[in-house]
Amino acid sequence: MGTQQVDRRTFLRAGAIGAAAVALPACTTPTGPPPTSLWSCGVASGLHSHTEVVIWTRVDPLLGGGITSVDWEVATEPGFGSVVASGTAPVTPATDRTVKLLVGGLEPDRDHWYRFVAGGSNSPVGRARTAPVPGAAATSLTLAYSSCQNFANGWYSAWRELAARPVDAVLFLGDYIYEAGAVQLLGTVRSEPFATVTTLEGYRSKYRLYRSDPDLQAVHAAHPFLTVWDDHEFTNDWDRTTLLEQPARAAAAFRAWFEYQPVWPTAGTRIHRDLVWGDLGHLVALDTRQYRDAHREDTLVAGVAPLTTFETDPTRTLLGTEQRDWLVDTLVGSDATWRIVGNQVLMAPLRTLDLDDGSASIPHAGLYSGTAFDTWDGFQAERDHILGALAANGVQNTVVLTGDYHSFWQSSIRSDFDDESTPIVVNEFAAGAVSSAGGAANENLLFGDAANGTFAPAFNYVDGFSNGYGLLEATHDELRVTFLEHEARYSQMLPEPAVRFTLAAGDPIPVTEVP
């Protein structure tokens, strides 16, 4: 794999896909400048399997309205001297002129490069990657992860820094767009229409606006993504009842997401999936939205609220029974050294006062952050079931990578967080937002700084204010997660390492250090 690493680093270092080194085209938007390239939304690839990759682009209608097809090539080096797959794909208004392909028959465990050709123009070159063969020897996995990239709230400088960093892939955990203009009240540093989108064209226009950012284009060209949605790709805090109340809007939101994301559809609107990384890692990406029950309506987004029998009802589900059983079976049945779960909302409890004295009629009784019941705290029995299954089956080395909360948290979670004699079965690493503002707003309000919070159980680390992303680096011996933090409202500020956690295989206690 030495040649592969040299090729990748040379590609990044040369600035072939770096936003600072090349003038990438701006995706056509209603208020933006006219496009300067046929490929005005750039290119993207998706991590899919050990022999397949997803590649994506869009043909701009203002410069290529008459183009009805594009040629494409995949090669094993960025100069395209060794093309291993090629073909032609249609361009149609039915998909907003986006082009997406699942390219198979590729060599496992290596980088590939791809491009599109039409109208005498070559697209930017992008990098894709195949996973190692399941069960095969794999020496390392490097995975960046984040979420929440509100366009108006901040700059995508985290993506600018990450585009030049050699990683295997990027795990994106939702809120790729924000459907509601009101989110701009958290802070606006650049222009975005102050309106809520509800139609197919409205959602498409959001993706085109966000993809107009050169830093976002750069990171998509540099690295394959493994992407899931959260709530703002549709509407804030939605659940399965919202699908029944707003079916046309949901269909439009889902369609636009699948059009603009390098994700290959599997079964309807299912997005939860897993990917085995040789014998080293088993990646599991969850969907904590479309199967969930509604949360309690009488809680406030600020302050604290008591846990009730509503949240502890054993019939309540965040994942849906099918996805929950699949998750447990996948984690229990995996032979990989590390089990790595991509999860949208905090799994660790945001309990500010412990009222569970062992005799309480409500398990895990206490006061919880007012925002908590949209997280796993609103589904206590299901969380207990999953954590208990891991403990009962002796499952080790499980980490959960979490987005959504616009802040950084690290927690070691026991199978029963009210019983310190039970084992730690999960270490959760929640990374800050790419650009979305607000931070851990409620906890910062309650305690002056979320890091001062009286949480029960306590967190190992809290930064309630910073933007940024997490970087996971795994070998068979250890797994490290580094939080890279910055303030996205400053366009030239890049994320820097703030804290690093190291887990030795078989030991659930993380070692914390400041880099």
Per-residue model confidence as pLDDT tens digits over 295-335: 887 777 789 999 999 999 999 999 999 999 999 999 999 99
**Residue closest to 170 by CA, chosen among 495, 466, 503, 469:** 469
HEC secondary structure over 283-335 = EEECCCCCCCCCCCCCCCCCCEEECCHHHHCCCCCCCCHHHHHHHHHHHHHCC
Residue 401 reports pLDDT greater than 50: yes
Name which of 141-145, 267-271, 295-299 the model is least confident about.
295-299
pLDDT band of residue 36 (cuts 50, 70, 90) is: confident
Mean pLDDT across 457-479: 98
Q: Diameter of the chain by CA atoms?
A: 74
Residue 413 lies in a domain: yes
CATH code at position 354: 3.60.21.70
Residue 422 lies in a domain: yes
Mean pLDDT across 377-400: 98
Mean pLDDT across 412-438: 97
Residue 1 reports pLDDT greater than 90: no
pLDDT band of residue 35 (cuts 50, 70, 90) is: confident
Residue 375 reports pLDDT greater than 90: yes
Residue 92's identity, in one-letter code, is: T
Q: What is residue 238's predicted lDDT score, i.e. its pLDDT?
A: 97
Residue 181 lies in a domain: no
Dihedral class, residue 252 (left if φ above 0, else alpha if ψ from -120 to 50, else beta): alpha
Residue 12 lies in a domain: no
Residue 264 reports pLDDT greater than 80: yes
Mean pLDDT across 274-279: 98
Q: What is residue 18's predicted lDDT score, i.e. its pLDDT?
A: 41
Mean pLDDT across 279-286: 98
Mean pLDDT across 86-90: 98
pLDDT band of residue 10 (cuts 50, 70, 90) is: low
Residue 93 lies in a domain: no
Mean pLDDT across 9-36: 55
Residue 49 reports pLDDT greater than 90: yes
**Residue closest to 436 by CA, chosen among 476, 403, 391:** 403
Could you give the CA distance from residue 440 to residue 463 in angstroms, rounded to a whole number?
Answer: 8
Residue 144 lies in a domain: yes
Cβ–Cβ < 8 Å for 235, 257: no
Q: Residue 120: CB partners within 8 Å, gap ≥ 6?
A: none
Could you give the CA distance from residue 385 to residue 321 in angstroms, rounded to a whole number?
Answer: 11
Can you point out the beta strands (E) in 134-277?
141-146, 169-172, 225-227, 273-277
What six digits make up the tokens of 45? Answer: 């690839």
Name which of 17-31, 158-172, 470-484 the model is least confident about.
17-31
Mean pLDDT across 187-193: 93
Q: What is residue 20's predicted lDDT score, i.e. its pLDDT?
A: 34
Phi, psi (degrees; rounded to nearest 5) at 126: -120, 160
Residue 117 reports pLDDT greater than 80: yes
pLDDT band of residue 30 (cuts 50, 70, 90) is: low
pLDDT band of residue 84 (cuts 50, 70, 90) is: very high
Per the structure, the complete domain to which residue 388 belongs is given by 133-174+271-513
Residue 155 lies in a domain: yes
Please report how the helices 214-222 and 200-211 are oriented relative to each other, as an axis angle in degrees rounded to 10. 80
Q: What is residue 2's predicted lDDT score, i.e. its pLDDT?
A: 42
Coil, strand or helix: which one is 243?
A: helix
Mean pLDDT across 434-446: 96
Average pLDDT, the chain: 94
Strands 281-285 and 273-277, sheet pairing? antiparallel
Name which of 32-36, 191-195, 306-310, 406-410 the model is least confident about.
32-36
Could you give the CA distance from residue 515 to residue 495 in angstroms, rounded to a whole number?
Answer: 13
Could you give the CA distance from residue 369 to residue 350 in angstroms, rounded to a whole number?
Answer: 6
**What predicted TM-score, i.e. pTM, was given to this entire model?**
0.95
What six digits make up the tokens of 380? Answer: 């206590």
Residue 4 reports pLDDT greater than 70: no
Residue 161 reports pLDDT greater than 90: yes
**pLDDT tens digit sequence for 349-367:** 999 999 998 777 899 999 9
| Domains in the chain, number | 1
Q: What is residue 22's predicted lDDT score, i.e. its pLDDT?
A: 36
Mean pLDDT across 407-424: 97
**Residue closest to 112 by CA, chosen among 72, 84, 71, 70:** 84
Could you give the CA distance from residue 459 to residue 443 in angstroms, rounded to a whole number?
Answer: 13
Q: What is residue 295's predicted lDDT score, i.e. its pLDDT?
A: 86
Q: What is residue 27's predicted lDDT score, i.e. its pLDDT?
A: 77
Q: What is residue 28's predicted lDDT score, i.e. its pLDDT?
A: 62
Edge to edge, the sheet with strand 141-146 lists 98-103, 53-58, 43-47, 225-227, 169-172, 141-146, 467-474, 478-486, 496-504, 511-513
**pLDDT tens digit sequence for 14-23:** 544 443 333 3
Cβ–Cβ < 8 Å for 317, 387: no
b/e sequence 473-485, b meaning 16+ C-beta within 10 Å: bbebeebbbbbbb
What percent of the chain is predicted at pLDDT more than 90?
88
Q: Which DSSP string do the residues of 107-158 spell out, in sequence order?
A: PSSSEEEEEEEETTEEPPPEEEEPPPPTTS----EEEEEEB---TTT---HH
Residue 161 lies in a domain: yes
**pLDDT tens digit sequence for 481-494:** 999 999 999 999 99
pLDDT band of residue 31 (cuts 50, 70, 90) is: low
What percent of the chain is predicted at pLDDT more than 70?
94
